[in-house]
Structure 1
Amino acid sequence: MSSFSSRKEFISEQLTQPEETFTDIKDILVKSEEEVEDSLKLKGQKETRKDKHLYACTMCDKVFSKKTNMIYHTRTHTGEKPFSCKFCGKCFSRESIMNNHLRIHTGEKPFSCMTCGKSFTLKHQLTDHVRIHTGEKPFPCSACEKSFKLKSGLNQHMRIHKCEKPFSCATCGKGFNQRSQLTLHMKNHMGDRPFSCMTCGKTFASNSRLIVHMRTHSGEKPFSCATCGKSYSQKGHLTVHMRIHTGERPFLCSTSFKSKSSLNLHMKIHTGVKPFLCTTCGKSFSQKSYLANHNRIHTGERPFSCKTCGRGFIQRHTYMLHMRTHTGEKPYLCKTCGKRYNQKSHLTDHIRTHTGEKPFLCKTCGKGFTIKLLLINHIRTHTDERPFSCITCGKSFHVKPHLISHMKAHTDEKPYQCKMCKKAFRLKSSLNFHMRLHTGVGLFSCKTCKKTFHFKSNYMRHIKMHDSQA
């Protein structure tokens, strides 16, 4: 049946041909089944050829389905640009590209966004723009499942995973993921910084960096976290912050990091590279910013000043932490007991009181500590190192708080006053002990004779007296 169907189709097609193509209809009808099948096979080959790329570039063997596409492609080898802009004289290999270029001079923007009315010179620019409204991100990363609105954005992102930096500085050899980053970097070598801050006079290689810098003066923070409401002056800072909520750590070594800069800094721990040298004391640093902060120790410069108390700071980070002492801001919450802290490191140390973790071990006696500073102070009990000396009497101490307490003995300063009886104390711990007299809270009570003690040591001696009598 299939054979008859094929034969019938073949005859029907032949009957539609001009008369000169065959002499008599009978000639077709008497054709053998094999001849019909051969004819059909040949016809199928011709149809297949129509679907194939028929035009090949003689220079690179690339094939095209249309002759015009092959001609346009050939011009990439020959450099031929027959279409010239009548306004600026720029030449193009295709007339369509020249027409798009002409819109720069005429100001024509025929492609308009139906949502916001913004217009564009090219159709693909409108297509890319519409994704801002729709939120569509059709280009996913196969490595980390991050998606992008533009294919160019995906291509640039993939270089992060491949550690690919195709754009290198000819002067210092530094590599970059994007050509625009290299262009900005080159301006640092050439001293080309045409954008100047009207407030402080600082200059920048790009207008975008000047805009970001101006926010340090205005206090503007246009990028807000939808989860916790925290605001940032730069979009990149918000992106890194969001990973606190999402837990994303896309930059990997043996450990993972939320930002690429953190990974790069971490890698210097393995390599030991510290290319930035202090010319005053010879100390070297892994980052230029670390060297800049260190140099302020020698110059005495403290550019970050507290407007409330006037105290100056070498680093912006230290200044920001100090400001929380005035504002009372404590953004770091312990999920176990609800206690809050103004520094993340303080929260980390506190959490160990719940977990019992003591990661800092003394190599001499094996004693463990929750905080590294406590270990450093403890080690001095073995070495008898006393680096904190009183400038009045010369007495030295293992830890700085003991020196501070001692200095009050010379000044007779008693800043801690009891609110109930107005008695004053040099140490806060002394005030806490005194408050037990008023409140009764924290006293050590003997279960045998009900006698109370301020200090645990006195209480323990008292207990031993009962034990010896027994």
Structure 2
Amino acid sequence: MKNKRENPFYCDVCGKTLAWKANAITHMRTHTGEKPFSCKACGKAFAQKNNVKEHMRTHTGEKPFSCKVCGKAFAQQNNVTRHMRTHTDLKEREKPFSCEVCGKAFTQQTDATVHMRTHTGEKPFSCEVCGKEFALKHHVKEHMRTHTGEKPYSCKICGKTFACQNNVTVHTRTHTGEKPFSCKVCGKRFADQSNATIHMRIHTGEKPYSCEVCGKAFTHHTDAKVHMRTHMSEKRYLCKICGKAFAQQNNVTRHMRTHTDLKKRDKSFSCEVCGKAFTRQTDATVHMLTHTGEKPFSCEVCGRAFALKNYVKKHMRTHTGEKPYSCKICGKAFACQNNVTRHMRTHTGEKPFSCEVCGKAFAQQTDAKVHMQTHTGEKPFSCKVCGKAFAQKNHVTKHMQTHSGDSKNFNA
């Protein structure tokens, strides 16, 4: 570093000029990588002393800067400045940087630069382990944790650990109930910005992700990825015994049990009453309740009894109206997580359950089970009046109307 004149100071490496010697010394560390200041709590090193002071707040929890509009507190002043733009009146005024391609406006130049990569497809940063490419450098750092298993950020309420700080922030809202992002069209609120963005596509009709094979469009990239597996060439998970291909690994695991030698080995827990075998002891214990009729858990509101404790918890939502699980695509809410999983297939077109006889695929396991009866000829439901047998319970109900109109007399 030279002082060509008394002022400013000139960097020999990149040619940048700085007004003060202290700034010149700090700037040189961007080239040398020197980090002479370290945190006494965790040992993390920094190039500037004031960065250590700011970092210490992650340990102490101190947030000395607050928003004058809503009072929300922050550890750094620049975070307050950025947050201020979330208030509508300021947001409209403070997006001076726009994309030359689509015109989208941003509050910061760096955001506009990063956004441009969505048009150019540029991903200048790559993982040294697997070669995966990224548009941002810090995304590589976060991705590396998938290889190392490192989860340095934890929830202060329940202790759950995460690889990224942002994930902790979003997770914490499951405890606080905070939903800071809202839809401008219908007002629905979300805990995560990405979910709000995806939801907006319901109103705009935007489906930016499409299938490369058939052209079907989707609102979310994961849905497009799952859909791709419905094309035969994408069934990359194979059964080691018969070679049958599947779109997902869990389908292979389920299929493997159809091979007799494995079925006997994998179902080591059997029912003492009927001999039915199970892969887990807990499943066998629960099954026994179908013979004993025991239902030790009951609802405090209506008194309805259940065989399992978690069934009571789910049932309680019929009284409270609580629907804590929602679809990330359309926002529809559900009382149970497995209902969300089933509902998602209406968007993705995924049909993970297939008939072992003819190969026909189904979105729901119950539909696959009913379909199997067309091959086996099984008709487990019968009419109490005339004895006619049916494959499905609702068929008995319809049939009963041909008698007295009473739809209660049927056997299973």
Q: What TM-score do you get using the length of structure 2 for normalisation?
A: 0.51
Partner Cα distance (2:43, 2:122) in 1: 32
TM-superposed deviation, 1:169? 2.3
TM-superposed deviation, 1:312? 1.8
Q: Which runs of 5+ in 2 are unaligned?
A: 238-244, 258-265, 267-278, 288-296, 298-305, 315-338, 347-353, 361-374, 379-412
Which structure features the higher share of helix residues?
Answer: 1
Determine if the alignment matches structure 1 residue 235 to structure 2 residue 137.
Answer: yes
Structure 1 counterpart of 2:104: 202
TM-superposed deviation, 1:168? 2.3
Partner Cα distance (2:216, 2:180) in 1: 32
Which is further off, 287-296 or 263-272?
Answer: 287-296
Structure 2 counterpart of 1:109: 9
Structure 2 counterpart of 1:138: 36
Residues 164 and 321 of structure 1: is their aligned pair in 2 closer, same or farther, counting only changes over 3 Å? farther
Structure 2 counterpart of 1:149: 47
Does structure 2 conserve the Cα–Cα contact (< 8 Å) formed by 1:119 and 1:126? no
TM-superposed deviation, 1:359? 9.6
Structure 1 counterpart of 2:270: none
1:220-231 aligned at under 5 Å gives the runs 220-231=122-133
TM-superposed deviation, 1:151? 2.5
Structure 1 counterpart of 2:260: none
Over the matched positions of the two proteins, sequence identity in percent amounts to: 40
Give per-residue Cα distances to partners, 1:227-278, cap 9 Å, x unaligned: 2221211223222212223332222221111111111111111122335556
Determine if the alignment matches structure 1 residue 290 to structure 2 residue 217.
Answer: no
TM-superposed deviation, 1:328? 8.0
Match 1:170 to one of 37, 47, 68: 68
TM-superposed deviation, 1:214? 0.4
Partner Cα distance (2:149, 2:281) in 1: 25
Q: Which runs of 5+ in 1 are unaligned?
A: 1-98, 333-339, 369-374, 376-397, 405-426, 434-453, 458-470
Structure 1 counterpart of 2:357: 430
Does structure 2 conserve the Cα–Cα contact (< 8 Å) formed by 1:112 and 1:126? no
Partner Cα distance (2:160, 2:282) in 1: 18
TM-superposed deviation, 1:319? 4.0
Structure 1 counterpart of 2:399: none
TM-superposed deviation, 1:209? 0.5
Residues 230 and 322 of structure 1: is their aligned pair in 2 closer, same or farther, counting only changes over 3 Å? farther
Residues 282 and 201 of structure 1: is their aligned pair in 2 closer, same or farther, counting only changes over 3 Å? closer
Does structure 1 conserve the Cα–Cα contact (< 8 Å) formed by 2:97 and 2:108? yes
Structure 2 counterpart of 1:255: 160
Report the 3-state secondary structure (helix = DSSP H, G, I; strand = E; otherwise coil) of the residue aligned with 1:184: helix
Partner Cα distance (1:173, 1:212) in 2: 30
TM-superposed deviation, 1:118? 3.9
Report the 3-state secondary structure (helix = DSSP H, G, I; strand = E; otherwise coil) of the residue aligned with 2:69: coil
Partner Cα distance (2:187, 2:106) in 1: 29
1:350-369 aligned at under 5 Å gives the runs 364=306
Report the 3-state secondary structure (helix = DSSP H, G, I; strand = E; otherwise coil) of the residue aligned with 1:127: helix
Residues 358 and 184 of structure 1: is their aligned pair in 2 closer, same or farther, counting only changes over 3 Å? farther
Partner Cα distance (1:243, 1:341) in 2: 29
TM-superposed deviation, 1:284? 4.1
Does structure 2 conserve the Cα–Cα contact (< 8 Å) formed by 1:144 and 1:250? no
Quick one: which amino acid aligns to residue 112 of structure 1? D
Which is further off, 212-221 or 165-174?
Answer: 165-174
Give per-residue Cα distances to partners, 1:104-136, cap 9 Å, x unaligned: xxxx433424xxx54442444443344445443
Match 1:214 to one of 110, 116, 135: 116
Instruction: Tell me which structure has the larger Cα radius of gyration.
Output: 1
Determine if the alignment matches structure 1 residue 301 to structure 2 residue 206.
Answer: yes
1:318-329 aligned at under 5 Å gives the runs 318-319=223-224
TM-superposed deviation, 1:180? 2.7
Bigger relative contact order, structure 1 or 2 (CA pairs below 8 A, ≥6 apart)? 2
User: In angstroms, what is the RMSD of aligned CA positions?
Assistant: 5.0
TM-superposed deviation, 1:324? 7.7
Structure 1 counterpart of 2:218: 313
Alignment: residue pair count: 270
Q: What TM-score do you get using the length of structure 1 for normalisation?
A: 0.45
Report the 3-state secondary structure (helix = DSSP H, G, I; strand = E; otherwise coil) of the residue aligned with 2:52: helix
Structure 1 counterpart of 2:395: none
Does structure 1 conserve the Cα–Cα contact (< 8 Å) formed by 2:99 and 2:116? yes
Structure 2 counterpart of 1:57: none
Partner Cα distance (2:31, 2:280) in 1: 49
Partner Cα distance (2:109, 2:165) in 1: 24
Partner Cα distance (1:342, 1:146) in 2: 44
Partner Cα distance (2:51, 2:246) in 1: 39
